[in-house]
Amino acid sequence: PHASLEGKVPVVNPELKGLPTMPARWTKLIELAQKWIVEQRANLFV
């Protein structure tokens, strides 16, 4: 949460909902980033 956003989270990602700890959330974010990179590379060769 951020004070300038009145305590709201700047971006809500439904993929992170239900993950209990920050390490679990970071692991999921890294997984999503890797998936995105693979998809972007695949689109280069289409």
Query: Number of H helices and number of E strands within the chain?
Result: 1, 0
pTM for the structure as a whole: 0.69
- What Å distances lie between residue 32 and 4, 5, 8, 29, CA to CA? 27, 25, 23, 5
pLDDT above 70: residue 1: no
Per residue in 20-46, pLDDT tens?
Answer: 999 999 999 999 999 999 999 998 877
14 and 28 Cβ atoms separated by less than 8 Å: no
pLDDT band per the 50, 70, 90 thresholds, residue 10: confident
DSSP assignment of the chain, as one string?
--GGGTT--S---GGGTT--SHHHHHHHHHHHHHHHHHHHHHHHT-
